Amino acid sequence: MRRRDGAAFAYVGAVDPNEPGHYPVCPLLRFTSLYCPGCGGLRSAHAVAHGDLVTALGANALAVAGYAVCAVLMVVWLVHAVRGRPTRIALAPAWWWAIGAPTALFTVIRNLPFGSFLAP
């Protein structure tokens, strides 16, 4: 997460995505009525920025997990920067599968009738 990523998160915290007209509509949702893994992510980020974890989880639980991972990575980077060590985070292919498979499963389940609790 770079400085501009933090600025983008702060912008989403300041400009409510629940108000129409501030952000574009997800093209997948617009044209197919299917939720992508990121649908509800802006509403989730807005709720996290305002300290409302329950609303954030309801909007997009996967995104909340992603925010937590980014926060941990920022702390790791900061500790390494203070100690003067370079930070290199390289993931083996097994880790990419471990990230991609649950993301795909989350996407499929949130679009099925019994998974509607995962829909934003």
Q: What is the pTM of this model?
A: 0.80
pLDDT at 5: 64
Q: What is the predicted pLDDT for the residue at 4? A: 63
Which is higher by pLDDT, 97 or 4?
A: 97
**Residue 23: pLDDT band with limits 50, 70, 90:** confident
Instruction: Using the predicted structure, report yes or no on whether residue 3 has a pLDDT greater than 80.
Output: no
CA quadruple 40, 11, 25, 48: dihedral, nearest 10: 10
